[in-house]
Amino acid sequence: MACNIVRGFSLLIFLITLGTFSSFLPITTAQGFKIEEATVYDLQFAFQRNQLTSRQLVEFYHKQIQTQNPVLKGVLELNPDALSQADKADQERKAKAPGSLSPLHGIPILLKDNIATKDKLNTTAGSFALLGSVVPRDAGVVTRLRKSGAIILGKATLSEWSYYRSNAAPSGWSARGGHGKNPYNLGNPCGSSSGPAISVAANLVAVSLGSETDGSILCPSGSNSVVGIKPTVGLTSRAGVVPISPRQDTIGPICRTVSDAALVLETIAGIDINDKATIKASNYVPKGGYAQFLKKDGLRGKRLGVVRDFYGFEKGTLQHETFELHFKTLRQKGAVVLDNLKIENLDEILNDQSESFAMGFEFKLSLNSYLRDLVASPVRSLDDVIAFNKKHSKLEKLEEYGQDLMLIAQKLKGIGTLKEAVLNMSRLSHIGFEKLMITNKLDAVVAPFSFFGSILAIGGYPGVSVPAGYEKGAPFGIIFGGLKGSEPKLIEIAYSFEQATMIRKPPPVRKSKV
Ligand SMILES: *[C@@H]1O[C@H](CO)[C@@H](O)[C@H](O)[C@H]1NC(C)=O
Ligand SMILES: *[C@@H]1O[C@H](CO)[C@@H](O)[C@H](O)[C@H]1NC(C)=O
């Protein structure tokens, strides 16, 4: 297929025959450009110097997917129009002045399967219940991606219904997509945006979009040694995304580098008339986009808080040692690290049931509304989905995994209680995380992935996850979280940390046995 872009192809086959897959030849274009691990800036530079075309890029990723996806299961569907979109991008690049095109022009992107596209791709949240549904329009973020000239490569796997069907199903599993694998150790990829993280980690695509309600971008990003940005709720449009909670849902980039994530974020952030929350949050979008905050010295003068309660691991473990080293690095790069801070009402937050109650209730309401708006669909309500799962219990593995979260949501009643739960969470956030940030004049709190994710989730706050290390072959991340609209600062901090440490290394290539 893409032999012309693969140097040393026969050697590669030789290696496969030998059964060796630990070493892998760098794959370069005929013009000597290596696509693996290339950033969006690298790719654009290669386009400009005629070392690479979008068609070659799509063909390369198709080949990667063909080889590795049978094992990794990060990609759910391929867009049959990706190659023609690539050809169009290649034509446009020839016709336009260099530098006049958007940074994502001609760049292939993969979308979590809860993000609607009005094209040949299905949008199903991984469930057979939505197969054959027809969406009214592209999701708001997809409209922006298409305008920028990005190529929609396909849909990524996820935890089915973004992990709101059942607690018993493994993270990263869906009936349509199977069980996604962490490319580093073939273990848990973490969900629910597992497919996007797996796929960028294994170089199956350039960049991707995930979504988060509580942990679903930050956790898979850390677990697969990639960078995820969970934006302030409303910064990016949720219109046309299969929902859980409009109060907590947010769409954000999952990429290999902070610079790629910043470029994707600036492409998708902003007002969408189909998601009212984007109007208010548009105040947070900086003039000139997010790339201007990619500063190597971005840590200088930043105040970072450490809340030890978020650090679950024991002294002496590799993670503990690694984080102590990272604090040193942060200080060396000019940050003030304030250690042993406390969130006053942490116990109250952890014992509070408001989030699970509100999420269940909001899931029912917002899912029903999403399903009603579809042009056509096998299911039109949460009740229908539950009935579908019962009717197709084998296909949906109902006996093994059940649908407890959906059944609980179905029964929730009392709009007054919902209002109370929402008020509770905003009160807990104000006297908890916000107070901590304000009284200590912090730019960010730094923590491993832990229930810190939930603190950010219930308040609608942003967070960025950057590769931080590997323990027994399993990657882990470091999270910088801040107040609403603090993405510019978080990007400065994350980029500066990433450039100082450069911890990400690509996973071994996972070929299927032929
Ligand atoms: C969407 O689903 C239908 C029904 O299974 C399938 O025939 C079609 O190939 C899918 N589309 C893509 C792009 O995979
Ligand atoms: C809200 O908080 C109060 C006080 O902590 C608590 O008694 C109540 O159960 C909470 N409401 C909900 C819906 O969680």
Which of these is catalytic: 148, 159, 174, 216? 216
426 lines ligand 2 (CB under 6 A): no
Q: How many degrees, rounded to 5, is the angle at CA 483 between CA 482 and CA 488?
A: 70
Atom 14 in ligand 2: residue holding the nearest Cα = 354
Of all ligands present, the nearest one to the C-alpha of 417 is 2
148 lines ligand 2 (CB under 6 A): no
Task: Give the number of the atom of ligand 1 that is nearest the alpha carbon of residue 154.
Answer: 13
Residues 178, 159, 115, 73: what is their CA dihedral angle, to the nearest 10 degrees?
-30
Q: Is residue 69 part of a domain?
A: yes
Q: Is residue 513 part of a domain?
A: no
* CB contact at 8 A, 123 and 113: yes
CA of 79 to the centre of ligand 1 (A): 10
Q: Is residue 512 part of a domain?
A: no
Owning domain of residue 272: 2-501
Amino acid (1-letter code) at residue 129: A
Atom 11 in ligand 1: residue holding the nearest Cα = 121
Of all ligands present, the nearest one to the C-alpha of 128 is 1
Of all ligands present, the nearest one to the C-alpha of 80 is 1
- Say what the pLDDT of residue 97 is: 82
CA of 236 to the centre of ligand 1 (A): 28
Tell me how far apart the alpha carbons of residues 374 and 130 are, in angstroms, rounded to a whole number. Answer: 10
Task: Give the number of the atom of ligand 2 that is nearest the alpha carbon of residue 354.
Answer: 14
- Say what the pLDDT of residue 415 is: 92
Of all ligands present, the nearest one to the C-alpha of 355 is 2
CA of 26 to the centre of ligand 1 (A): 33
- Say what the pLDDT of residue 511 is: 87
Tell me how far apart the alpha carbons of residues 485 and 162 are, in angstroms, rounded to a whole number. Answer: 25
The DSSP line for 4-45 is GG-TTHHHHHHHHHTT--SS-PPPB-TTS-B-TT--HHHHHH
Q: How confident is the chain (514 residues) per 10-residue block, as mean pLDDT?
A: 32 32 50 92 96 98 98 98 98 89 98 98 98 98 98 98 97 98 98 98 98 98 98 98 98 98 98 98 98 98 97 88 97 98 94 95 98 98 98 98 98 94 97 98 97 97 98 96 98 98 96 71
Q: How many degrees, rounded to 5, is the angle at CA 190 between CA 186 and CA 195?
A: 75
Q: Is residue 509 part of a domain?
A: no
Q: Is residue 514 part of a domain?
A: no
Pocket test for ligand 2, best of 357, 359, 422, 424 (most atoms within 8 A of CB): 424
354 lines ligand 2 (CB under 6 A): yes
Mark whether 112 is an active-site residue. yes
Per-position b or e across 273-287, b if 16+ CB within 10 A of its CB? ebbebbeebeebbee
361 lines ligand 2 (CB under 6 A): no
Task: Give the number of the atom of ligand 2 that is nearest the alpha carbon of residue 421.
Answer: 13
Q: Is residue 125 part of a domain?
A: yes
Amino acid (1-letter code) at residue 39: T
* Eight-class DSSP state of 402: -
- Say what the pLDDT of residue 314 is: 81
pTM for this one?
Answer: 0.94
Domain with 448 in it: what CATH number? 3.90.1300.10
Query: In Å, what is the CA distance from 203 to each residue of 72, 182, 252?
Result: 12, 13, 19
Number of structural domains, the chain? 1
514 contact partners, CB below 8 Å, separation of at least 6: 16
CA of 377 to the centre of ligand 1 (A): 14
Phi, psi for 250 (deg, rounded to 5): -155, 145
218 contact partners, CB below 8 Å, separation of at least 6: 212, 228, 230, 449, 453, 456, 463, 465, 477, 479
Mark whether 216 is an active-site residue. yes
* Eight-class DSSP state of 376: B
* CB contact at 8 A, 443 and 486: yes
Per-position b or e across 77-105, b if 16+ CB within 10 A of its CB? bbbeebeebbeebbeebeeeeeeebbbbb
* CB contact at 8 A, 278 and 312: no
Tell me how far apart the alpha carbons of residues 298 and 402 are, in angstroms, rounded to a whole number. Answer: 47
HSE, side-chain direction, 13 A CA sphere, residue 286 = 16
Which of these is catalytic: 112, 230, 302, 484? 112
SS3 444: strand
Q: How many degrees, rounded to 5, is the angle at CA 275 between CA 290 and CA 74?
A: 65
* CB contact at 8 A, 402 and 168: yes
309 lines ligand 2 (CB under 6 A): no
Q: Is residue 182 part of a domain?
A: yes
* CB contact at 8 A, 389 and 419: no
Which of these is catalytic: 192, 259, 429, 486? 192
357 lines ligand 2 (CB under 6 A): yes
Q: What residues line ligand 1, using a CB cutoff of 6 Å?
A: 77, 80, 120-122, 131
Mark whether 393 is an active-site residue. no
